Amino acid sequence: MNVIDQGVGKIFTDPDADKVREFFRKKSRKLESKVMSVKEAVTKFVKDGDYLCIGGFGANRIPASVCHEIVRQGRKNMGFAGHTSTHDFQILCAGEVFNRLDIAYIVGLEARGLSPNARRYMESGKVEVSEWTNYSLSVRFKAAAAGVSFYPSRNIMGTDTFKMSGAKIIECPFTGTKYAAMPAIYPDVSAIHVHEADIYGNCRARGITVSDFDVARASKRLIITCERLISNEEIRRDPSYTVIPYWCVDAVCEVPFGSYPGNMYGEYFSDEEHLREWLKVEESPEELKKFLQKNIFSCKDHFEYIEKNGGMHKMQMLRQKEHMFIGARA
Amino acid sequence: MADYNVMELMICTAARELEDGASIVVGTGAPNAAAMLAQKTSAPNLVIMFEAGGAVPLIPEMPISVGDSRTTWKALMASGMCEIMETACRGMVDYTFLGGAQIDMYGNLNSTRIGPDHQKPKVRFPGSGGANDLASFCWRMLVMTPQDTKRFAEKVNFITSPGWLQGGNSRAKSGLPLGAGPYKIITNMAVMDFEPESKRMRIIAVNPGYSEKDVQANCGFELLKAKKIVENKPPTKHELQILREQIDPYRYVIGR
């Protein structure tokens, strides 16, 4: 195929669909329990140097406990998909977990402002970057989920975002229209937080889906955290609710309030007070160090983190906030 | 002295651009306030969507994230990134609001970096997010921003999201969907559109209290001028009341 133009950005993951078929050929299809702790899941499935993707939308339905555990266990030199990433990105930057990055949205927490520490990290030169967009990364996962090596899209052309990406411009063989060819991303490992899962990893999620269903299928290894474990009988009672099938999943970790301090649709709102504190302490590297010691390194797990930040009283307040629709930013 | 501030004026001006029955993808903050105001005044059937997947909610209060649960409250659909972006790519989204650290005379936006070294930028911003996608796909891109000579730059450090690119027919040649592009720029001082041939930014209205001269003095490139430049209408009492009491009672946006 004739390549009309191409960006100079690096492609950090191999888009070759046949190589990944060989990987998936060997992946287990066994219906067996995958229940384990987050600590165990990260130890087993997240390695130094892996390319990582985090599900959800920044501070909405994120697997916060997995992000903390990755930092706690000191993973380094990872690749990361900065796709709609806000608080998850902030956590991983605090641990200096990755050194190469596909960028769609980074360093910001939307209306909350920019993360001073994430900015310092991104301006330090320690991270090699390629530039993309939210939809570009979405279709890169979509291509991978479909088992193909690229997906054509009509964005990005003519801009510097394209020049700093790894996309290539090609011509449609039917109409002659130009398209940006987006190379598939097959992450080594991803983590997604859902509402419910059975012990095998059949998942139910409510609210917006972002790109998670494609991410789940694109990933070589997948860690699921869920608000609640439910029975396999319940899954079979109405399979139309299953959005991620068990054969994509490697670990199932039950983590109630697992998206905290993020929002979880229909369950609890984000903890804006705590997110403001994160942004505030980041102004001083010393304060951030103390903050991380308290909230990540000295915590055994997600429950201890929640205990230190208001425990069940706080969780109940956030549940009320989610359901009463008042003062989202308060 | 007028009894409204610059942010309120920009939001009211922006809201009037959105006709009833049109569709729009919005972000948080001022664009969201403008879409909500339009819905509560002149465009009750405005179809509001969020890039993360929320489609046609009855927004109960201003969201803090384009993916938080307020974006799907009493919505018609809780979908995903591809659903919304592809609806726009198919040609069914009329408007979007975007912004950036810099904008040039063709409406190209920079929200990526300041400084020459991409791998070690002087200042790093969030990047495109969904902005490049929406600027590529939505029929009419609107920008709401205060203006000064730094922000309205002769040359942006980085074209994150496409305006009319290098002007003329350069955008059409790039491969981006035909017919879509920057529509109006709403600032604290004026409203600009783009001259149809050259695709250069052009003053079409000035806000009360400002002259054409002020607008040009606070812009880093030469602005074209429409044959007839009108004075922009200030916010009405009705608009201000809805904005202050129903949309942003805590003044998160209008208090800025």
The confidence band for B61, taking pLDDT boundaries of 50, 70 and 90, is confident
Are A79 and A12 in contact by the 8 Å Cβ rule? The answer is yes
User: Is the complex ipTM more than 0.85?
Assistant: yes
Among the partner-chain residues B82, B126, B175, the one whose CB lies closest to the CB of A105 is B126
Are B142 and B96 in contact by the 8 Å Cβ rule? The answer is yes
Q: Which residue of A has its CA nearest to B253?
A: A111
Which two structure tokens, joined as six digits, stand for A51?
């390319």
d(CA A142, CA A152): 11
Among the partner-chain residues B123, B132, B250, the one whose CB lies closest to the CB of A156 is B132
pLDDT of residue A1: 73
> How far off is chain A from B101, nearest CA to CA, in Å?
13
How many angstroms separate the Cα of B80 from the Cα of each of A21, A149, A167, A270, B195?
26, 22, 23, 20, 36
How many angstroms separate the Cα of A239 from the Cα of each of A136, A243, A244, B146?
31, 9, 11, 51
Are A269 and B165 within 8 A, CB to CB?
no
Question: Torsion angle of alpha carbons A170, A176, A177, A180, nearest 10°?
Answer: -10
Other beta carbons less than 10 A from residue A304's beta carbon: 12
CA A269, distance to chain mean position in Å, is 19
The confidence band for B1, taking pLDDT boundaries of 50, 70 and 90, is very low
| Chain A contact set for B132 (CB, 8 A) | 133, 136, 155-156, 159, 161
Other beta carbons less than 10 A from residue A48's beta carbon: 11
Q: Looking at B111-179, which runs of residues are DSSP E strands?
A: 113-114, 123-124, 140-144
Among the partner-chain residues A58, A156, A327, the one whose CB lies closest to the CB of B65 is A58
Q: Is 60 exceeded by the pLDDT of residue B23?
A: yes
The owner of tokens 């097959």 is: A186
| Each residue's pLDDT tens digit, B162-199 | 999 999 999 999 999 999 999 999 999 999 999 999 99
d(CA A279, CA A24): 40
DSSP H or E stretch at residue A222: strand A221-229
Mean pLDDT by 10 residues, chain A (330 residues): 94 98 98 98 98 98 98 98 96 98 97 96 96 98 98 98 98 97 98 98 97 98 98 98 98 98 97 97 98 98 98 96 70
Are A38 and A65 in contact by the 8 Å Cβ rule? The answer is yes
| Chain B contact set for A180 (CB, 8 A) | 175
Ramachandran angles phi, psi of A279, nearest 5°: -65, -40
Contacts of A231 (CB under 8 A, 6+ apart): A198
Are β-strands B181-186 and A51-54 bridged in parallel, bridged antiparallel, or unpaired? Answer: unpaired
pLDDT of residue B256: 78
